[in-house]
Amino acid sequence: MILSNLTMFPQPCANLITLEIPIVRDEKLSPPYYAHYSRSGTSIPPDTLSSIDTVNCRALPLLIEAFADSAKVDGQEKANGRKGDLHFLASVFANVSASNAGRLFLLSPHAEAGATPEYPLARIVVFTEHKDTIRRGGVVSTLK
């Protein structure tokens, strides 16, 4: 919700579009990466991080992936283990789409780690019929 409020202004929105964060790729994890600067009690101990190879990744594709993965389908529990529903990320995407750079990002295919290129907008357009008003409204605003 805070990120949604921040991205209403041009500078934080531009910063989010270009933000890159270091991640550790690990195919055993779901999702197959770990953002080690987002430390929690279950994180890898800091003394082991110096020996781990990190890769910089844009933050916006990770937010889109988290948004898509966090949605409950027909009342079923999520299998991904995320603690929140992340409905307000839809408003973040709507705010990002108000800028030229944001629209270019959403409408350009991107491929992460050699995967098939995918349009970020295609990942979120399916939520135009979601039961949650905040998620649905944010996605519709993004499309507008």
pLDDT in tens, 72-114: 665 555 555 566 788 999 999 999 999 999 999 999 998 765 5
Establish if 124 belongs to a structural domain: yes
For tokens 């709507």, the residue is: 94
* Distance from C-alpha of 116 to C-alpha of 112, rounded to nearest angstrom: 8
Domain count, the chain: 1
How much is the pLDDT for 42? Answer: 58
Give the structural domain span for 95.
2-18+59-143
pLDDT reading at 37 higher than 80: no
Instruction: Tell me the pTM.
Output: 0.81
- What does each C-alpha distance from 64 to 46, 49, 68, 95 come to in angstroms? 27, 26, 6, 14
Q: 125 burial class (0-12, 13-18, 19+ CB within 10 angstroms)?
A: middle
Establish if 54 belongs to a structural domain: no
How much is the pLDDT for 56? Answer: 85
How much is the pLDDT for 8? Answer: 94
Establish if 119 belongs to a structural domain: yes
pLDDT (mean) for 127-142: 92
> 3-class SS at 82?
coil
- Sign of the Cα pseudo-torsion (91, 124, 71, 12, in order): negative
Establish if 47 belongs to a structural domain: no
How much is the pLDDT for 38? Answer: 66
